[in-house]
Structure 1
Amino acid sequence: MIVTLILAAEAAFWVVLALGLATRYLLRWREVSTVLLVGLPVIDLALFLLTFLDLRGGATASWTHALAASYLGFSVGYGPSVVRWADARFLHRFAGGPKPLPAPKYGAARSRYEWVLCRRTLVSVAITFALISALKLFTDASGTGVFDQWYWKLGIAAAVNTAIAVSYTLRPKEPPAGAIVEDGRIVGWRIPQQQQP
């Protein structure tokens, strides 16, 4: 049952996101769009509450229950950035907006970008950890030992993201020779001067 709910919540997230952006840029219904986009976390919250009730109702805990909690953690940590990402692309494609900039690749800008991602991951991990712990402590469900494995996965995700951010801080990626870089992105190339005879 939980797998079906997870799939339904995932589909609902993207459908509501698309509807929110379509009402904003195609129909010019900004208020309706705002309500839809602000309501996105409600989908994952509903999934978590149904997961909680499933365990309270006597279901045996499984990795799918932990995954449902992870969806809400992801929604809190990454949800706003996912909406901004989709918004910029929808604006460009359907409303004549500017082409979205790619993520920075070089230097201090890339390091800052990686730390932003790391912060989002740490928030997601902390929320998911708290939610899984709540499922474990307040449902009296059997089989919650499976959640201990999920704690390890959360720890690994946090450690990997932190290691990546540290590596880009200690050894920033250098752009190719001759590249003109602004804010970590290549914006042009220097033309080598010809040697005078």
Structure 2
Amino acid sequence: MQNRLVSARRFATLLALVLPPALGSCVSTSPQRKAVTDGPWIAASPVLQQQIQDEAKRLPWTHGFERLEQIRWFASLGEPGYATLLDLATDPRDDVAAAAFAAMGATLDNRLVPYIREIRIPSGEDHKDLQLERARTLVRLGDWGEIPTLIAGLRDDRVYTRSLCHDALTEATHEDKGFDPRASDEAREAAVSRWEQWWRDRSSDSLLSAAN
């Protein structure tokens, strides 16, 4: 459990780089996102459930270290917090939804995968960070079908986004391919090409295809 909390803290810290304060005002104009919260989760006690509800209400209005601590706290709850996190992942504010995805990814509980897959998120460049956060979450939970999304993220213009995508890829696959998010354009592109070739080779694996 301690290792999971450390991992949650590290991932949440990286998340802060992807979600600057200005993103908090980004609201989707797409159709309302679908919440899928029913699941075989252990129910929270009445006292804990009240705490969960209180933290969920505060989440849209927290920033910086306070937001990171909330992500860590939700991740540490395990099953009693899943229904609330799945609901928060449908919030029209991208930074709130991304925080919920990050907390679920930090649990490392792959039972969440089918529920996360059913959450519709908006498309388009304005919501790119949310798309990447959802992809990172699914890959961390074992859904390698989102690996191409993270590989594409290695070409992002922002160093911190490239770093996040690379960290998620290496954590899940134990591969590196020589990618350095701060390297020259040419060096990065060569490494991305190696990642793409690796994925083409792996995606032909019948077991991997069946899993996704």
TM-score, with length taken from structure 1: 0.30
TM-score, with length taken from structure 2: 0.29
Which structure carries more relative contact order (alpha carbon 8 Å, separation 6+)? Answer: 1
Q: Which has the larger radius of gyration?
A: 1
